[in-house]
Amino acid sequence: MNQNTQKLHKILAQSGLGSLRDMEALIAQGEVRVNGQVATTGTRISETDVVTIERRKVRLNFSETAPRVLLYHKPEGEIVSRDDPEGRASVFDVLPRVRGAKWISVGRLDFNTSGLLVFTTSGDLANHLMHPRFEVEREYAVRVVGELSEQQMQEACREILLEDGPARFERIRDNGGEGTNHWYQVTLKEGRNREVRRLFEALHLMVGRLIRVRYGIIDLPPRLKRGQFMELDPTQVKRVLEWAGMEALPVSQRDVLARRERSRAGAGAVKPRGARAGAARPARKSPLRHPARTEAAPAGQAGRSSRRSTKT
């Protein structure tokens, strides 16, 4: 066997075409061809091979370089998809273009949910951050009409049976509120469809507003307004890779030049939906928290709060 060959699905993901799981599924569906022949799971390729997806030749990246990571403050009213039959606004309409790759969304937020969305050009990194076996924490601020009892908060952290299986919060904190509106801070280690909303519905409370404020060690930066994006610098990307248990890779010269060009041009802001859409100014404080803080309830603030907090 040629020792210079590599697994097809890995190279496709490394080239920014999707996560490892997405590429494996695409190959299994028979959509990928190598030198005109339908590829199968386990197919290996070299730099001399021609790969097509849906009969279109794809540009492959065989040299591993540091991925790019982008943070976006998603407003309500946008979908996390490139293809929508209803023609609704998409988060991908706002993101800066990336040459030779594409932005892969790390998880999704539904149409009526706002907050932190993480994008990367690495299918491998996206897989590490999304796959259930890695148990990456997601943290949300939730506004509901009504209030949970102490018993309900404890129940939510044990187990609630939903239609697609049992689910629970890792932690829940009562952040108080006024009138009929009440805020809670909740943390989960998975990202099933509408899971936070369905858990509250099972407790007989309707969610009025849902905001994701953290994904793993990445916080939603306070200065990142709705509709704005910011890209992590190489040092921050290195920290994310190390935290995810991945090898820190060198930054490609192309990406260095692209970052400089965006900096000169105001970070390439795109403003299709009002003045606030586009690139944010660089944050004064890093959006990455110390890894140990992700294990504390929540955001390491439990010891400074007199409000109710429940965790497993």
- Residues marked active site are found at 110
Q: Residues near 44 by Cβ (< 8 Å), separated by ≥ 6?
A: 1, 2, 5, 6, 7, 8
Q: Are 90 and 128 in contact (CB under 8 A)?
A: no
Chain mean position to CA 239:
16
Q: Are 4 and 46 in contact (CB under 8 A)?
A: yes
SS3 234: helix
Written as one string, the DSSP assignment of 135-167 is ---EEEEEEEES---HHHHHHHHH-EEETTEEE
Identify the DSSP state of 40.
-
Q: Which of 234, 210, 232 is nearest to 221 (CA)?
A: 232
Tell me how many helices (H) and strands (E) the chain has. Answer: 7, 19
Kindly state the tokens that stand for 215. 């994904």
Element (H, E) at 269: none
Amino acid (1-letter code) at residue 219: D
How are beta strands 207-215 and 160-162 bridged, if at all?
Answer: unpaired
Neighbours of 160 (CB within 10 A): 18
Q: Map tokens 């407790």 to a residue.
A: 203
Q: Report how far apart, in Å, the C-alpha atoms of 221 and of each of 55, 184, 274 are.
A: 41, 19, 20
**Residue 85 region by backbone torsions, left for phi larger than 0, else alpha for psi between -120 and 50, else beta:** alpha
